[in-house]
Structures are given as structure tokens and as C-alpha cells.
């Protein structure tokens, strides 16, 4: 299943409420991140076994991107309720349709180019899930990132068919730079890429332990889902579900109880969390390059480095600016630096507070 | 007379062929630089004695800015021929209309706020002009600028009625930083602000010495100017006039021959030559300030410093960029720094060479 939610505020003004991150081509692949995700998952599960959970407003765009997505596999949220509700509902629906099913949840807006490496990890995670673990795939850090959460891996799981799987001692939040360096040096920490693989019932049990009302809510929704009562029950139940990330409701408690397993992923991965990350993806890691996004970009630049996103069709000239981030859209313009890329979210907050919601 | 020519390439994309620098409000005065210039000169000469030399394309805009400009005082250039042709033609026309007249030439796009200081200097320059000097007003440097040409002043002129006037030993081009420091320390160098005051005939004589064909050309034009033959003679003569700045054709040779006088101007002056200069004008000299131009500017900025020019009506967000220059217009966007502001002209050259003349 693909939870396709979240605007990607750190990518404003490219990402908007009406055109969230997963509907953009941020890698230069020529297609949206959502479509990239679909193409990555289809060989693993088959197209007919991919479910997408997204907002009502994005239904048409999602279906246009994924023309072979089965009708019954589109789950529409009337309003965003965070990942526990989205993934929990998908788990509850799928477990009713196919008891014992193993599900995997993969974000709609991450980047992975090594399809084979990804697939091998999923296969091991599925084995761990069959052995009743909540399984995750943790990415081997390529540097001391402070932009990701970390998974502290422990002893080998000793699970036949999943030779690389490890136990998890804890999930940890985004660290400071010094802690990140320590994590990297230790070799025992992996990036949390938000991928979870489990038997649907197992995931719901774990959710019920920490969030019993939320678990009961998604089960109630699932019971009505494939019936004529769906709309009525959604209206009654969905708006009252607790908003909580699945990391807190399922992953952390399962880790604490020794029921979480991690398969270390030795493939490239990026959550494309901010413009510095996009610049990195496009420049092949070289700091001196200027990345240019936008099919009709007309950019004139000298020694400038950083990233230009051009969606306005205008001529853009850059002179002598380093590590620059310029995002040019028809109604809003952002100018910042890679070093400040994480602060973009604060602009979105400020625009909301100052009544400038028309550009959000 | 006001030569209102020159696009102001260093102010692209604000300044364009169709909307040159003198038609913009760059100071926040609420009116264009051209109108500011008019308001500065009208008390000196009287409105009926101001002539404007401008391109045909700008006639309507100039007349809209200066509704009391007399018809006979509008001189239209069919194509730009540099300042010697523009000022020489004005001198020739005015000398025919009023033999012995003293003329002064003042750029349409410079900034002076101290009207009284300016006027006192003009009065002394007129006295020197009556004594048959080519007179100029040189600005006392407020810093070691490398953006201006310099006038090397010599001994007092000893001219009754012009107590501050000095002889000029030479005109010098824009210096490098070290030379500029030396000029400043010596106290003998003044900024060349392109102001020239002289008897019209004297100026034409001086022009004839260095550029005899050019001088003959403007005199031929002037003889036909107030007759029905004007159009015919303009078509025949104007396109063949040598393009040369008046600094080279008149000021330098006159200085070398001891016929140039300078009145030191102890008033604020700026040629608003680039965006760093505009930022300086708006920030009151403080480097930490962000200057914002544009009536409908909607700018959200944190600690950023520099200048934003907003002509596109869009929301502009700046995060953590120092000394930044952002110029946002409907069809073109410039991002650079104050330190690189002089390089903007190279963008204009590059756009012309690359066939992107539509945004020039």
C-alpha cells in the first residue's frame, strides 16, 4: 500500500496543498514520484495488489498517474488523519478481504533507484513478517544526516530466509549533528525510511495495544468499507480518529517489546525532504553544480551552484550565487540556500498565519 | 537639457529597452527619476528652458511624465547615438535659437536629494562657463568607489563669482580598488557625475576640435531643425554621426588643454548604476537591511539582507540570504548579490547573443 498524503511543506512553493510532493517529478525521471513508487512496487506485489490511500482532492490526479490502479484499491481520506489512521485502515480493509495477508507500506514520495536491492530487502522483510514481526527496512547511512530518524539495530534475528534481518532496540528521532556522527561511526544505526511490512492482523494488534480506540475505529470502518454503509460510517468515525504517526503508535512500542525486525537496506534512498536534497540528487553529489528542474526552464547562470526550479516559464538569470535555492512558480517565489532548506516549512507556517493561504 | 537615453543594462530585468531606468522610481520618492530630475532643474532654469533629448520610442512616456515640457524642447533620436551627438545637437539647436546661451546637461537617471547644494554648484559652474570654461560638477567621494570615473582637480580657478571652482588636470576612468583608495586619501579626486555646463558655442567648438565631422553634423541638423527640412536632414545625417561619449569628445580634451573647470559638489549624489546602489539608497547605508521596492510587493523575509524588487505581484519568500538581489518581473527573474551587481550587464549581453531579446 502507498500512503499518498502530506503536502511536503519544505518544498513550498513547488509543493502545494493542491499539488503535493508525490505529484511532482523531482528526480528528472520524467514522471511523478508516485508513479516511480508504483513502478517500483508493481513487480513485487503485482499491480492488482497495490492500494493507494490518498486525500479526496487528489483522486483524479492519482488515477491519472496510475490508470491501472483497481477501483477497490483506492482509499480516499475525507481529511488527513496521519499515517496510523491511513495505514491502519488499509490493513483492516485488506485483512477482511484476505485474512492472513501480509502488507507493506511504502511512502509515495521517496526516491530509490536500485530496484533489485530494494526488492531483496522487501523479500526478507516479508519472511520476518510471516514470523510475526513488524518488519521495517532501515537504510545504511551514507553520511551523518540530521534530517532523518534512526533505527538502532541489535542482534541478528536468526530467522530462516531472512539472513540479514536484525532485532531493533529502539527508534530514535532526528538527532543533532554530533549524535548523528556517533550513530554513523557505531555502524549500528540505520535511517528510518518509513517502510513497514507485517501481517495486517499483527499490525492491527500492535496498534490496538497503544491506540485501542484508533484500532477499533479503523476496524469499524473496514467492516463497513465494502458495503453500502461506507459513507455513513466514514462520516461518523474518520473525523474522530487520533492523528498519530505510525512510528509512534506501532514501531516504537513494537521495538520496545522486541517485536520489531529490521532488514538493512544497502541501496540508495532519499526522502527528498527539502530542496537541498533535490539539488543533491540532481548534481550527482557535486556541490559545484547547478541543478535545474522544469521542463521549460530558461536559466542563464554563471558560476552559481545550487538548484533552480522553474515552473513559471520565465527567463531566470543567476549571477555569482552559491548553494542557492530558487523556486519560481506563477504566484510565488522562494529564494534561500541549501543550508537553510529545512527552514522553508517556517515560511509556510508564516504564510498561513498571515492570511496568505492562497499561495499554500 | 536632460539627455534621457540609456537603458540601464545593469538594472535588468527592471530596466528594459521599453522601460529604461529613467522611467522608474528607484528611490521610493513616488515618482520617476526623470521627473525627479525635472523638479530639480525647473527652479534653476525655469520649466520653459528645459530641453529633453530622448528616443522616439519614449516620447509618450516622457511627455506623460513632464506635461509642461514645451513641444519645441523635445528632441527625438531616431536611434541612440551616444551623448556627444545628443548633447551636441541640443547645444547646436539652442545656440541658433539664442546665441550666447549657456547650457547645462544633467542625466535623467541620477539621484540628488540636496537641491540647495546642487543649485549652488550649478550657479558657480555657470559663472565659470561665462568665463569660457567647459564646467563640470565633481562630487566629493563618500568612499573609494570603483563604480565611477574620477576628475583629478588642480589649482583654484580664481574666477570671480565661482570661489570654489578648480582647474582640472585630467579625467580618469573607473579605477581598481587600490587606486580608488589612493584617490580618496589624496583629497584631489572627485566623482564624475556627467554634468557639463558651458556656453553652447564653446561646447561645439571643443567638439569640433576632437570630432570635426560630428560637430559639423549636429550643426547641419540644427540649421534644419526648426524648418520643414528637419525630417529629411535627420534621415541623412543622424545615422552617420559618430557614437562617442561626451567625456571623450569634449571633457578629456578640454581638461588636457586647461579649458575644463570643476566645481566640487559636497552634496549626496548617486548614479543608481546597479542594484547594490539602489539597496544602499533604501537601506540608509545599513548593510543588515532588506530594501523592498514595488508598490504591490508581498515579501516575507527573515534575517535576509539586500534588495527585492517586486513587479510581478507574486508572493516572495526569502530565507537566510545575505546581500541578496532579487528582481522579480512578469517575464524575467534575476538572482544575484550586491557584490555581483555590476555583472548584471553581462547577462543582458548573453541574452542578446543567445536570441532571448524578448526579455531585454
DSSP state string for A112-172? ---HHHHHHHHHHHHHHHHTT-EEEEEEPPSS--SSS-EEEEEEE--BTTBTT-EEEEEEE
For residue A303, what pLDDT is reported?
A: 78
Q: How far is CA A266 from CA A36, A221, B54, in A?
A: 19, 38, 68
Sign for the CA dihedral angle at A317, B357, B296, B5 comes to positive
Q: How distant is the alpha carbon of residue A223 from its chain centre? A: 27
Q: What is the pLDDT of residues A75-93, one digit of tens each?
A: 999 899 999 999 999 999 9
B300 touches A at CB < 8 Å: yes
Cβ contacts of A339 on chain B, cutoff 8 Å: 320
Cβ B317–A333 below 8 Å, yes or no?
Answer: yes
Of B321, B332, B343, nearest to A319 by CB-CB distance is B343
SS3 of B186, please?
helix
- Count of CB atoms within 10 A of residue A161's CB? 12
For residue A29, what pLDDT is reported?
A: 84
Mean of per-residue pLDDT scores for chain A: 94
Q: What is the DSSP string of A159-225?
A: BTTBTT-EEEEEEEPPPPHHHHHHHHHHS-EEEEEEEEEEEHHHHHHHHHHH-HHHHHHHHHHHHHH
CB B91 within 8 A of CB B107: no
B315 touches A at CB < 8 Å: yes
Residues in chain B: 360
Three cell numbers, residue B265 = 559638489
CB A221 within 8 A of CB A90: no
Sign for the CA dihedral angle at B165, B168, B174, B179 comes to negative
A318 touches B at CB < 8 Å: yes
Q: How far is CA B23 from CA B64, B136, B140, in A?
A: 10, 25, 27
Provide the ipTM.
Answer: 0.86
How large is the average pLDDT for residues A53-81?
95
Could you tell me the pLDDT band of residue A304, with boundaries at 50, 70 and 90? confident
What angle (nearest 5°) sits at the alpha carbon of residue A220, between those of residues A217 and A225?
A: 120
Cβ contacts of B359 on chain A, cutoff 8 Å: 315
For residue B303, what pLDDT is reported?
A: 78
CB-based burial label for B166 (10 Å; 0-12, 13-18, 19+): buried
Q: Which residues share a beta bridge with A151?
A: A171, A190
Cβ B336–A354 below 8 Å, yes or no?
Answer: no
Cβ contacts of A305 on chain B, cutoff 8 Å: none
Cβ B319–A359 below 8 Å, yes or no?
Answer: no
Q: What is the pTM of this model?
A: 0.88
Cβ contacts of B338 on chain A, cutoff 8 Å: none
For residue A166, what pLDDT is reported?
A: 98
Cβ A335–B314 below 8 Å, yes or no?
Answer: no
Does residue A144 carry a pLDDT above 80? yes
Q: What is the pLDDT of residues A236-274, one digit of tens each?
A: 999 999 999 999 999 999 999 999 999 999 999 999 999
Does residue A284 carry a pLDDT above 70? no
Sign for the CA dihedral angle at A331, A335, A340, A346 comes to negative
Going by DSSP bridges, is the β-strand pair B315-318/B298-301 parallel, antiparallel, or unpaired? parallel
Does residue A121 carry a pLDDT above 70? yes
Nearest-10 Cα torsion for A179, A183, A184, A186:
130
B345 touches A at CB < 8 Å: no
* A 83-102 residues with CB < 8 A to B: none
Residue ranges in chain B whose pLDDT is less than 50 = none
For residue A325, what pLDDT is reported?
A: 97
SS3 of B278, please?
helix
For residue A118, what pLDDT is reported?
A: 97
Higher pLDDT, A289 or A197: A197
Q: Among residues B310, B303, B355, which one has the least CA distance to residue B329?
A: B310
Distance CA A256, CA A32 (A): 37
For residue A27, what pLDDT is reported?
A: 86
CB B320 within 8 A of CB A336: yes
Three cell numbers, residue B108 = 535623467
Distance CA A61, CA A58 (A): 5
A317 touches B at CB < 8 Å: yes
**Where are the alpha helices (H) located in chain B, listed in sequence order?**
33-45, 59-65, 82-97, 115-130, 177-186, 200-210, 212-225, 230-237, 246, 252-256, 275-283, 344-353
Domains along the sequence of chain B with CATH:
2-265 (3.90.550.10), 275-359 (no CATH)
Amino acid at each position: 500500500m502507498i500512503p499518498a498524503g502530506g503536502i511536503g511543506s519544505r518544498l513550498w512553493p513547488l509543493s502545494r496543498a493542491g499539488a503535493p510532493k508525490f505529484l511532482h517529478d523531482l528526480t528528472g525521471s520524467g514522471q511523478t514520484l508516485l508513479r516511480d513508487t508504483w513502478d517500483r512496487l508493481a513487480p513485487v506485489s503485482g499491480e492488482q495488489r497495490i492500494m493507494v490511500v490518498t486525500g479526496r482532492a487528489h483522486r483524479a490526479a492519482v488515477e491519472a498517474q496510475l490508470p491501472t490502479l483497481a477501483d477497490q484499491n483506492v482509499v480516499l481520506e475525507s481529511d488527513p488523519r496521519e499515517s496510523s489512521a491511513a495505514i491502519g485502515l488499509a490493513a483492516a480493509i485488506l485483512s477482511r478481504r484476505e485474512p492472513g495477508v501480509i502488507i507493506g507500506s511504502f511512502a509515495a514520495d521517496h526516491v530509490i533507484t536500485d530496484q533489485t536491492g530494494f526488492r531483496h530487502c522487501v523479500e526478507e522483510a516479508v519472511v520476518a513478517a510471516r514470523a510475526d514481526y513488524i518488519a521495517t527496512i532501515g537504510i545504511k547511512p551514507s553520511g551523518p544526516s540530521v534530517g532523518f530518524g534512526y533505527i538502532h539495530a541489535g542482534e541478528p534475528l536468526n530467522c530462516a530466509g531472512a539472513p540479514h534481518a536484525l532485532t531493533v532496540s529502539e527508534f530514535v528521532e532526528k538527532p543533532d549533528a554530533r549524535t548523528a556522527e556517533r550513530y554513523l561511526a557505531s555502524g549500528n544505526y540505520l535511517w528510518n525510511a518509513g517502510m513497514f511490512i507485517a501481517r495486517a492482523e499483527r499490525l492491527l494488534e500492535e496498534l490496538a495495544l497503544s491506540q485501542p480506540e484508533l484500532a477499533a475505529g479503523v476496524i469499524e470502518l473496514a467492516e463497513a468499507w465494502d458495503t453500502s454503509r461506507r459513507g455513513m460510517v466514514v462520516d461518523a468515525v474518520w473525523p474522530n480518529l487520533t492523528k498519530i504517526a505510525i512510528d509512534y503508535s506501532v514501531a516504537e512500542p513494537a521495538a520496545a517489546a522486541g517485536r520489531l525486525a529490521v532488514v538493512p537496506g544497502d541501496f540508495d534512498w532519499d526522502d527528498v525532504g527539502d530542496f537541498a536534497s533535490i539539488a543533491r540528487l540532481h548534481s550527482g553529489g557535486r556541490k559545484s553544480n547547478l541543478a535545474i528542474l522544469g521542463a521549460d526552464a530558461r536559466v542563464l547562470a554563471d558560476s552559481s551552484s545550487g538548484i533552480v526550479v522553474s515552473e513559471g516559464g520565465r527567463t531566470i538569470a543567476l549571477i555569482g550565487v552559491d548553494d542557492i535555492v530558487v523556486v519560481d512558480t506563477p504566484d510565488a517565489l522562494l529564494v534561500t540556500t541549501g543550508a537553510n532548506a529545512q527552514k522553508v516549512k517556517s515560511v509556510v507556517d508564516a504564510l498561513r498565519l498571515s492570511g496568505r493561504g492562497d499561495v499554500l
